[in-house]
Amino acid sequence: MSISPKFLSGSEIRETFLDFYADRGHKILPSASLVPEDPTVLLTIAGMLQFKPIFLGQRAATSPRATTSQKCIRTNDIENVGRTARHHTFFEMLGNFSFGDYFKKQAIAWAWELSTEVFGLPAKNLVVSVFREDDEAFAIWRDEIGIPGDRIQRMGEADNFWQSGPTGPCGPCSEIYYDFHPERGDNIDLEDDTRFIEFYNLVFMQYNKDAEGNLTPLQNQNIDTGMGLERMAQILQKVPNNYETDLIFPIVQSAAEIAGIDYHNSDEKVKVSLKVIGDHIRAVVHMIADEIRASNVGRGYILRRLIRRVVRHGRLIGIQGEFTVRVAESAIDLSEAAYPNVRSREAQIKAELAREEAQFLKTLERGEKLLEEIVDRTKQQTNQQISGQDAFTLYDTYGFPLELTQEIAEEQGITVDLDGFEVAMKEQQTRAKEAHQTIDLTVQGSLDKLAETIHKTEFVGYAELSSLAEIEVILVDGQAVESAEAGTEVQVVLNKTPFYAESGGQIGDKGYLQSGENGQSLLVRVDDVKKESDFFVHFGLVERGTLRVGDSITAKIDNSGRRRVQANHTATHLLQSALRKIVDDSISQAGSLVSTERLRFDFNSPRAVTAEEVQKIEDLVNSWIAEAHAADVAEMPIAQAREKGATAMFGEKYGDVVRVIDFPGVSMELCGGTHVSNTAEIGLFKIVSEAGVAAGTRRIEAVSGQAVLDYLNVRDKVVRDLGDRFKAKPEELPNRITNLQNELKDTQKQLAAVKSELAIAKSDQLLAKAESIGEFKIIVAQLGDVDAEALKTAAERLQQKLGNAAVILASVADVDKVTLVAAFSPEVNKKGLQAGKFIGKIAEICGGKGGGRPNLAQAGGRDANKLQEALESARNLLVEGLG
């Protein structure tokens, strides 16, 4: 039954859509996280992404029909945000999905029913498009729905063939457009966004696209649809653009109030900035709610870039100081009913925004000044292009995203050398690249070629420390060989292994591959193990005998090293649990290293950890160790593990079945690493250091088990050595050292006073050597190795005694440390000579720089051999300036 078009709020549109499909046998599912399981995309870009494994036949559907409201982020059209009526970074995609159930006919019929009868859109205002080769869809629209053929547009692959990424499920699609001006007649151009807006896309998922672009039919024919919530709100609420709907406009108004302006009375440039703020704040609130943190890589870079665009557009409309947290409150209020996690993570959202905004504001003003200079300079050039090096300096030193520089450049009618920027970026990455061992690409390539002829490695290391195995592959310098002699470095793949491969922060096991008694026939020392696809690659050296493909050997790990590693790994789990209990329950892992000697745990924290909290954390972990909690290790479906409350590392990809390490009542985590069977096996836990390593990220380094004894033995040796030197007991050492420090400070003060007196005495001898230049007196001289402070005192005193004078003094504390001081009277300043500028110019001769006030300034240099030349230049300049 048709209903008249009426105003519906964004929430009502969402609810109406979901209820419509729920009434037709669809299961309502929650929105997936903005951090997708799909490794081919950084962020969730479409409603179908969470169902991609189902469309590919890799996972069974829990229901043949589903419907969702999915939060999405796309930044490919970020330059259009705020400038067009419909482009966004964050948007909600309403969708209905069929997994091998219904197909084109039913999908089209329901889409039409929902659009015309439920939302009440007049048929005369609707136009549809189909893929140019999809005659079936064209016929359904024309013959069964009754749309005139001239209002069905056949479109090319770019418009009407949908895919979720470079690879994956895809197929032809049909789109429904709303025509704001049907009175303009049948001259239909769907690219005219002043007249048409696409609001519903029906994708007929029939194919899978591989990396080479080949299309193969999917196991089942599937339906994936997407209706833009913001676009439907614009249509039903009868507003000129998506930004003025009730989904976004309250955020825009919040920013306008802070700026003290009225949106509707503002010019187009101000409106664009307000829209950008409204859009981007929605995006960053949901990104942080889904545990994305700002950084310089991946999705963290996207978050940082969006926050910085918000800050810059705030400044463009006159907002001074920090404001993003206040605007975010509006976004949280609008979203919490549909997405409760924005409210539960409100504190983290505001903390991340405040931290990023404050950090950016520190460099923004200086960066803007530099960019202004670069723009002015560029406009005077013939090519009108900001150099790649300048753009990179803005990015690397001042935190300006390249896109922001491009945007500002475009506003000024100039461009940016993108190729030059990429060159500068690669040079910086090469300089900063960490020295760490990784699997050689030749190893990976060789394994790819052999993958079809060898078995994946069976890992038996959870239960066995040694096992019989067969040599499947031997690689030397990345090339597959049949054998390797003693002295050869090799990479070996076995059919099964007890060696743990580096993963999840835990290092690979060390040990031996051997045959014969105690390795008499063959001995290969294994120094590291890494996993490549399904293969465990053992990196080592043939120490004795000949290694041959097909031979049976004994693979034996270093048991002592394994015990230390698993003690450190379990201690890491206990540490995370203690941090959450004592510091903040929102703390999450940001990285880790588990080795034989130590453990390192990086974690996201909204604040610093106090010394008292560090001690409490250490004490709590040791109490759990002493309580001897037994480990409960089990494999289970990931959904069950999450229901039980198991902690997962954010950003880590997990399969459908996961391994759960549970120390009941203490810690429960998803983990594939090796662990002790009882916390008592750890023995002891000691935190070595705690510090910040990046904005919002902190690091704890610690030791456990035998490593604690090693650590304490080193400390004990140092304490005993200090006790012997100071003739004091260990408990007396702090006071003795404090007393010595105080005595040293007093002695240093006395020495400085003596040096100053000596400098004054030496300088007094220079009074008689003062040179007259007209009404002025000048002294240019060197005072041995006098320190900088004493030299400054001497110069001031000489100038005061001489009156109308200019004094330049120098000293050389070392061959590469020159100090220069200038003291000028007010009359000298009136002649146009300023001490700061003068001494800076002189210091350049000695390879240095400096400056200061017009009457007193100091500079340093690195080349004492040029001092005499510098002093001569100073005298000549004084004579010239005062003569």
758-817 pLDDT tens trace: 777 777 888 888 999 989 999 999 988 888 888 888 899 899 999 999 999 999 977 678
Residue 442 pLDDT: 46
- Residue 486: pLDDT above 80? yes
- Evaluate if residue 230 carries a pLDDT over 60: yes
Compute the residue count for the chain. Answer: 883
Sign of the torsion angle spanned by Cα atoms 343, 346, 349, 353? positive
Looking at residue 450, its pLDDT comes to: 62
| pLDDT value of position 2 | 44
Asked if residue 306 has pLDDT above 80, the reply is yes
> Residue 31: pLDDT band by 50, 70, 90 thresholds?
very high
Mean pLDDT of 610-635: 96
* Residues 150-180: tens digit of each pLDDT: 899 999 887 888 875 677 778 899 999 999 9
433 burial class (0-12, 13-18, 19+ CB within 10 angstroms)?
Answer: exposed
Instruction: Tell me the per-residue pLDDT of 174-211, one tens digit each, with 9 for 90 and over.
Output: 999 999 998 888 788 888 888 999 999 999 988 888 77
pLDDT (tens digit per residue) in 375-414: 888 887 777 889 988 888 887 777 677 877 888 888 788 8
| CB burial readout 530-567, b (16+ within 10 A) else e | bbbeebbbbbbebebbebebebebbbbbbeebbbbbbb
Residue 577 pLDDT greater than 90, yes or no: yes
Check pLDDT > 70 for residue 145.
yes
**In terms of pLDDT, which residue wins out, 37 or 575?**
575
pLDDT digits (tens, 9 = 90+) for 635-656: 999 889 888 888 887 556 677 7
* Per-residue pLDDT at 164: 59
Task: Give the pLDDT of residue 651.
Answer: 55
| Stronger pLDDT, 732 or 437, i.e. the higher one | 732
The predicted structure's pLDDT at residue 223 = 94
* Highest mean pLDDT: which range of 178-187, 568-577, 859-868: 568-577
Closest CA to 21 of 90, 84, 110: 110
CB 273 within 8 A of CB 307: no
Mean pLDDT of the chain: 88
pLDDT digits (tens, 9 = 90+) for 407-465: 888 878 888 999 888 888 777 655 443 322 233 334 555 555 565 567 789 999 999 99
Q: Identify the weakest region by mean pLDDT among 47-61, 427-441, 458-472, 851-865.
A: 427-441
- pTM for the whole thing? 0.58
CA neighbor of 494 nearest in space, from 538, 436, 531: 538
Percent with pLDDT over 70 in the chain: 95
Structure token digits, residue 142: 């024309």
Q: Which of 126-140, 255-269, 437-451, 614-628 shows the lowest mean pLDDT across its residues?
A: 437-451
479 pLDDT band, cuts 50/70/90, is confident
Region 521-546 average pLDDT: 92
Measured from the Cβ of residue 691, the count of other Cβ atoms closer than 10 Å reads 10
- Write the CB contacts of 514 (distance below 8 Å, at least 6 apart in sequence): 521, 522, 523, 524, 553, 554, 556
Report d(CA 379, CA 377) in Å as an integer. 6
